[in-house]
Amino acid sequence: MLHLLVFSVFGLICVAGAINLLVQRHPINSALSLVVVMGSLAVEYLLLGAEFVAAVQVIVYAGAIMVLFVFVIMLLNAGVEERSKGSRVAMLFGVPGVLIGTVLVAWVLLARSGTGNVAVGALPGPPKVIGWLLFHDFLLPFEVTSVLVLIAIMGAVVLASHPGSKQPDKREG
Amino acid sequence: MVPLSYYLVLSGILFACGVTGFLIKRNIITVFMSIELMLNGVNLSFVAFAAQWHALSGQVFVFFVMVVAAAEATVGLAIIIAVYRTRETLNVDRINLLKL
Amino acid sequence: MTLSVFILVSVIKIVVALGILLTAVAYTVWLERKVVGHIQNRWGPTRVGPFGLLQPLADGVKFIFKEDLLPPHVYKPLYIAAPMIALIFALTSISVIPIGNWVTVLGIHTPLEITDVNIGLLIVLGITSLGVYGVALAGWSSNSKYSLLGGLRAGAQMVSYEISLGLSLVGVLIMAGSFNLREIVDAQSGTFWGFIPRWNIFQGQIVAFFIYLMAAYAETNRIPFDLPEAETELVAGYHTEYSAMKFAMFFMAEYANMITVACLATLLFLGGWNGPHRFGPPLLQAVLPVFWFAVKIFAFLFLYIWVRGTLPRFRYDQLMAFGWKFLLPLAIANLVITALIVALRA
């Protein structure tokens, strides 16, 4: 009972945040509603027992990636978004399509997916076990993603630095 | 006890919201945020399926998704900054030329 | 323990913890003014109460009765929400920080913290990493150039130093093998050769402690890294446009963050509530751990204030270079060496 209550409260917050992201015209409001979505998703992870995933979700997603988004919005001083022709076509055809698809998927899931019930903390994912898995069963993917991150860092530095402008003169320090 | 399908439906709704945002939003930063929303929806289904099959690898996958999302966010935002510098707009409809 | 008793105990603990934290915040401000005053050969607050001890109270009353200005050019919802976000996250992070062993009062066995979770450290890091939103949004929503620059600086600075901060803690985590703050403290009990305590700082984590210290100064926006609110160039940085209680919220958030950082440093590096407590009657022995904990926090806060009274402010490019080119490689090197030693010992 309590489980269902917590699940539905945070699920509703989640969906409300996601819809608010779509409705808001200003990117900073969208970014903040996405932070709300991520925070309530962390609670859902906790309900499923994935404590480490929940913590990392808050630290990495809400605390780092979204801060980066907010930072870029502030840096570029992004204003209210303007609606143009392309979006009207997408709204006419895309949105109903997505809606129909979602309803279909939801119906299949609810009516005949054959999945059981889950209790609170159904599958605990303590950091120790996750770490063991990462460094044994998933060692190769782990190393590959580390290379990916390295490439991303270098790419970001190259892309965001002013094209053509020379490195500023080395001062002291 | 909550049916697992509720979690999956929630994940589906989040994904659909992400797709919708990707279609209707015109600000490139918001479009990008919609992609993050889709990834979040997928992550929830990963964790839910991990609970269904009692396999922790589902949770490990979430970390990989997060790492990829972080890498994507850094490069993507750097591209957005570069685009803004040359075109001074964030509207995706106006960024329609390969070369200025 | 039944559910109603559990809720009652939790509410009592939350009220007590909040009371202690807010009092500590108020008296940290007093301490700072007093110590900085003496460093600069002044007296600091002396007029209100003996030694100016009632000064925080007077300040609070003043903040409440000041006019709450709402500048016309701000983006209202976020302008109002930003200080609340900052304060809420600053206060929430105290909830998983233990200040002593388990105690039994009136037949109820309970830990000396609001809740004992096994990923306590991660929760503290997560909540404090959300605190940056308050600062960044305050800077953006004020719609003024000083605020925006302060907010941008704060965002970049806090995200950059969070990496070094997190990496400096990993060494400790490797040695303790747990995210639970209680277990980390327990791993530091005992002494080497009977007199050197087995605190992590004496177990080869002194470099990590240094990194943590530097990163913590930057995370809490304190001198020498207080670029987001550098008075001489940015007026007051992100809270330029704020007044009265909203300003007070930022102020309280800053000091609450300082206390959280001091708590973490005490728990992770300075042995928590461990100390020479094998004397006196049973009641004294029960209270002494909390006393040692408070003493260590006080020492850490004193260091904070001492540095503030001593060092000048960095330049912004120096700050970034220091964080990325010196602290981060040092933290990684420390992590690698610690891991190597632990692996060889095992």
Q: How far is CA C135 from the centre of its chain?
A: 16
Chain C positions in Cβ-Cβ contact with residue A28 (cut-off 8 Å): 78, 137, 140
**Does residue A102 form part of some domain?**
no
Which residue of chain B comes nearest to A8, CA vs CA? B6
Same domain, A77 and A131: no
- Contacting residues for C73 by C-beta, under 8 A, at least 6 apart: C143, C144
Contacts 24+ apart (CB under 8 A), C201-204: C201/C269, C201/C270, C203/C175, C204/C338, C204/C341
Percent of chain C with pLDDT over 70: 98
**Torsions phi, psi for A163 (to 5 deg):** -70, 135
Structural domains of chain B, ranges and CATH numbers in brackets: 4-87 (1.10.287.3510)
Nearest Cβ partner of A7 from B6, B68, B81? B6
pTM: 0.86
The rounded radius of gyration (Å) of the Cα atoms in chain B is 17
CB contact under 8 Å between C140 and A55, yes or no, is no
In chain A, how many domains are there?
A: 2
> Which tens digit of pLDDT belongs to each residue from C230-259?
777 777 778 888 888 888 888 888 899 989
**Does residue A147 form part of some domain?**
yes
Given a cut of 70, whether residue A87 has pLDDT beyond it is no
Could you list the residue range(s) of the whole structural domain that residue C208 is in?
3-345
- Contacting residues for A150 by C-beta, under 8 A, at least 6 apart: none
Q: What confidence tier does A172 reach under pLDDT thresholds 50, 70, 90?
A: very low
CB contact under 8 Å between C162 and A63, yes or no, is yes
Same domain, A155 and A120: no
Same domain, A9 and A70: yes
CA distance C130 to chain A (A): 5
CATH of the domain at A12: 1.20.120.1200
**Does residue A172 form part of some domain?**
no
Same domain, A121 and A150: no
Given a cut of 80, whether residue C274 has pLDDT beyond it is no
Same domain, A77 and A153: no
What ipTM does this complex have? Answer: 0.88
Give the per-residue pLDDT at C278: 65
> Which tens digit of pLDDT belongs to each residue from C213-230?
889 888 888 878 887 777
Provide the token pair at C167: 């990496």
The better pLDDT of the pair C274, C142 is held by: C142
CB contact under 8 Å between B6 and A84, yes or no, is no
**Does residue A46 form part of some domain?**
yes
Same domain, A30 and A54: yes
Could you list the residue range(s) of the whole structural domain that residue A26 is in?
1-81+116-125
**Mean pLDDT estimate for chain C:** 84
Q: What confidence tier does A48 reach under pLDDT thresholds 50, 70, 90?
A: confident
**Mean pLDDT estimate for chain A:** 83
Same domain, A28 and A1: yes
What's the average model confidence in pLDDT over C6-11? 84
Given a cut of 70, whether residue A40 has pLDDT beyond it is yes
> Which tens digit of pLDDT belongs to each residue from C275-303?
776 666 777 777 788 888 888 899 988 98
Which residue of chain C comes nearest to A50, CA vs CA? C119
Confirm if C137 and C82 have CB atoms less than 8 A apart.
yes
Q: Over the range C268-291, which residues count as b (16 or more CB within 10 Å of their CB) and which as e?
A: bbbbbbbbeeeeeeeeeeeebbee
> Which tens digit of pLDDT belongs to each residue from C109-124?
777 777 778 888 888 8
What's the average model confidence in pLDDT over C166-191? 83
**Could you tell me if A98 lies within 8 Å of chain B, comparing CB atoms?**
yes
What's the average model confidence in pLDDT over B18-45? 89
Same domain, A75 and A131: no
In chain C, how many domains are there?
A: 1
Task: Measure the CA–CA gap between B69 and B92, rounded to whole angstroms.
Answer: 21
**Does residue A91 form part of some domain?**
no
